[in-house]
Structure 1
Amino acid sequence: MLKRISTNEVELGMFIHKLEGSWFSHPFWKRKFRLDDPEMLERLRESDVSGVIIDTTKGNRRPPEQATATIISGPRHAGMPLQPRQGGVAPVPQRPGFARAPAAMPGAREFGRAKRAAGDALRVVSKAFIQVRLGKAIKVQDVEPVLDAVYASVQRNLYAFNGLLRCQNDNEPIYRHSLAVSALMIALARHMKFAPVDIRDAGMAGLLMDIGVGQLPVDLATVGGDYAQLRPDLREQHVVLGYSFLKAAGDIPEPVLRVILHHHERLDGSGYPQGLSGLAIETLSRMAAICDAYDNLISGPDQLDPADALRRLREQPALYDAAILERFVETVGVYPIGSFVRLQSGRLAMVVDEEPSDTTLPIVRTFWSLPLARRLKGETIALAHCYGDDSIEGIANMSDLDLPDIGTLRESLLAAACKEAA
């Protein structure tokens, strides 16, 4: 039986059927769930939700006797000061606990779901950019399904969704970039054990941070759809345009708006639009700077190998928060999916999945023999479980090899690995 109660009457063990109010006013990712986490209960009571609908047939009317755990709360990222650590690098703030995640799904199984989710998400993102271009407000409920789908995929497998995007060819770079950064932000925030409401902010910020590109007074077709190719004074307008447009919409959370404005700021003050430096740049914007720069390095004009892109970021400690960057490396893997590596056996391979227990030993798909100088039929090798028969020596040099273009090669290798695992 469904029953409406006020938020302060909610107790542990109840099944939440519906939360009243805006999606952004409540601290939960899902709308229907059993409330078993004391911390989530506190967050709900402190939120702007005035009432909830409970289903008394699926949950308790009163809290279970054992549910007397101490409620632990922590500050949200909005306005959270970051204290400098040795070397001037701000530490990653400690986050409240996270509702227990489901068991990890193997990458080969998750890729199929992620592919369907990515296709649907790209259509939603492209529609949002077109709406902005036409001066129409973005409705929160229009982009909510994108974040739900990405979050669900990341919950099942931390690496699959971003790995899939890295191995897909497409002709819509700005839409794919927004989706990729959103997925990276969600994965990073989850890995850093942010609370669900903060993970949601991170994903929304990644999805909308470049929305101002749609309002630039230029035809992006003249630069192949890549706004990064515009002259700097024109390109840099997108952060202020996006911030102003979404702030006027009225229902975008303030932490998200700050990321949209500040994701191009850099620790040494060399960024834009305000030239902020050091601790003046909040945590979410520091995270966004890394996620944005990483995806630009691997999908932009340079087309760096993902592992090489991580090396490039690490070489710029004056620009990017070193502590958060190391958490980012843990999130995507030392050799992210889509990286081309050289094996001790003299073969070249592509990383097709990660080994959560040791990201230096991922799962790879071989495709080239250096001693024979020819293409191989290929096999999938779990380096963490091959008893030392093979290992990674470094990033592969792909120049002067008789191979398809990199995008096509990545797609074919990932498809072969998934087919073999099916």
Structure 2
Amino acid sequence: MVKRIERHEARVGMFIESLEGAWQDNPFGQRRFLLRSETEVDLIKNSRITGIYINLAKGVDVDGSSRSFANSSPPRSPPPRKALLDERRATVKIVQASVKRLETAFKESRSGEPINIESVSEIVGDISTQIGSSPAILLDITRLKSKDKVTFVHSVAVSALLVHFARHLHFEEPLVRVLGFAGLVHDIGKLAIPTAILNKASVLTAEERKIVMQHPAIGHDILKRQGNLPGVVLDICRHHHERMNGKGYPDGIPAGELSIYVRMSAICDVYEAVTSVRPYKKPWSSATALSWMLQHGDHFDTQLLWKFILSLDSELTRGVA
């Protein structure tokens, strides 16, 4: 039996036969699909569609009931509260240590010393391990930014997102680690930006924005002088603010010249920035951020963006929302 419902009635477990209205994209790039996570539900609720047609023989109804016993599965029991608290404490320590070590590495670079590749690589190792066991908690912790640690915690969070996204795309582990490293150092050029501008609690002036827009090129120069970093790291550092429409910065290069790694980093960088606390704004919810990004498809690789959305399963979404 197929039934029409309003978009606000969507819930996990519904089988969608079709979407009604102006929303042309859907989570699976096809007409029929199962709503598997709260991310997908929130995207529908925040979309412009006018109605949903659900198949009650293949999924749940509005009240959560199901006519298909074959497709049903018992709900997972949540981990004990103590186990969650212990895991959170362990993750807090990892994030704090990662931020401190990254800050030290950046300060050494500021004084003219080469980046301590071994130290930064160890941070990637810690992040990679923790992402494997509790991505939701790790990304939740990275939201705990103090005013003077925004750049460092942002970099840890982008690294974590890139590692998680790369694994979702089934990249080889050595490449995953390189992308995690790139996430940690992608904003190193901000060392040259006055702290007063980076931590400004209001919207930047046109002149201040021009200064901030210099950081990818500055960071690229810093990393290039290192002389022993993979090209992927240099590419992401310089081009993570480029757009698919060619209107990004610092080079304004077209989509055809943007590597998949740059496109991934652009998605992770923006998503992390808008869903976390900043001096000048409140964080957006995961659904609001993803909906906004989908509406600005000329900024991002839309196919990759959908894959990124699907990588944010319901557990991870609760952590970053």
Q: TM-score, normalised by structure 2?
A: 0.67
Query: Equivalent residue for 1:325?
Result: 305
* C-alpha distance in structure 1 between counterparts of 2:242 and 2:190, whole Å: 17
Q: How many residues align?
A: 235
Instruction: Read off the aligned partner of 2:303 and give its amino acid letter.
Output: A
* C-alpha distance in structure 2 between counterparts of 1:196 and 1:178, whole Å: 20
Query: Equivalent residue for 1:119?
Result: 96
Which has the larger strand fraction?
1
> Aligned-pair RMSD on alpha carbons?
2.6
Query: Equivalent residue for 1:367?
Result: none
2:184 is aligned with 1:231: no
2:126 is aligned with 1:149: yes
Query: Equivalent residue for 2:146?
Result: 170
Query: Runs of 5+ in structure 1 lacking a partner?
Result: 1-86, 92-104, 341-422
Runs of 4+ in 1 over 3 A off after TM superposition: 225-230
2:154 is aligned with 1:188: no
What SS does the corresponding residue of 1:159 show, helix, strand or coil?
A: helix
Alpha-carbon distance change, 215 to 154 in structure 1, aligned in 2, over 3 angstroms: same
Alpha-carbon distance change, 170 to 202 in structure 1, aligned in 2, over 3 angstroms: same
Which structure is richer in relative contact order (CA contacts within 8 A, separation 6 or more)?
2
The structural deviation recorded for 1:338 is: 4.7
Query: Equivalent residue for 1:419?
Result: none
* C-alpha distance in structure 1 between counterparts of 2:320 and 2:270, whole Å: 17
Max Rg structure:
1
Instruction: Summarize the alignment of residues 43-122 of structure 1 with structure 2, pairs less than 5 Å apart.
Output: 108=84, 110-122=87-99
Instruction: Summarize the alignment of residues 8-407 of structure 1 with structure 2, pairs less than 5 Å apart.
Output: 108=84, 110-166=87-143, 168-171=144-147, 172-216=149-193, 219-224=194-199, 229=204, 231-299=208-276, 300=278, 301-302=280-281, 303-333=283-313, 336-338=317-319
* C-alpha distance in structure 2 between counterparts of 1:140 and 1:259, whole Å: 17
Alpha-carbon distance change, 226 to 195 in structure 1, aligned in 2, over 3 angstroms: farther
Which has the larger helix fraction?
2
Query: Runs of 5+ in structure 2 lacking a partner?
Result: 1-24, 30-77
Instruction: Read off the aligned partner of 2:146 and give its amino acid letter.
Output: D
What SS does the corresponding residue of 2:235 show, helix, strand or coil?
A: helix
What SS does the corresponding residue of 1:239 show, helix, strand or coil?
A: helix
What SS does the corresponding residue of 1:269 show, helix, strand or coil?
A: coil
CA contact under 8 A between 1:110 and 1:153: conserved in structure 2?
no
What SS does the corresponding residue of 1:337 show, helix, strand or coil?
A: helix
